[in-house]
Amino acid sequence: MIACSRSFEHQPIGEGNVRMLVTAILLVGCAHVGSNFDATSLDWLREGTTKQEIQQKLGTPLRVGSDGGLPTWTYGYYEYRLFGDSNNKDLVLRFASDGTVKSWTFATTFPEEKKKLDPALQP
């Protein structure tokens, strides 16, 4: 029997409810975090691109941070699967002090994007 807290009282969850919860998790089988973006069409992204231009194209970054004292934005999409391969991709933008792109890095584990980005990886 599993107990859950509710208003500081412990209420038992019946076995039937636990089975329904486990079944629901197994049926869904995957979860997504972040907003998906087409990584193979980033040719518009160049050194000097403004934060405003980036937000117009990609929306709000998933994470913000700092690299050597300069701001960074990370756009990420993470796909977790209960069965099968999980995949992810990250676009990390590093900004100069004037708020424009200084450099950027992209990495992916999605097979179709890997093939488009580096044809040598095709089987």
CATH of the domain at 53: 3.30.1450
Secondary element (H or E) of residue 104: strand 101-108
Question: How confident is the prediction for the chain on average, in pLDDT?
Answer: 83
- What confidence score (pLDDT) does residue 9 get? 47
Whether residue 54 is contained in a domain is answered as yes
Which range marks the domain in which residue 114 is found?
Answer: 30-121
Q: Is residue 92 part of a domain?
A: yes
**103-117: pLDDT as tens digits:** 999 999 999 888 888
Please count the structural domains in the chain.
1
In a domain, 80, yes or no: yes
Alpha helices in 1-123 (DSSP H): 15-28, 51-58, 111-117
Tens-place pLDDT, residues 5-56: 333 444 555 666 777 766 665 666 778 889 898 887 888 999 999 999 999 9
User: 10 Å Cβ neighbour count for 35?
Assistant: 13
Q: What is the pLDDT of residue 4?
A: 38
Give domain status of residue 70, yes or no: yes
Asked whether residue 18 is domain-assigned, the answer is no
Are 88 and 78 in contact by the 8 Å Cβ rule? The answer is yes
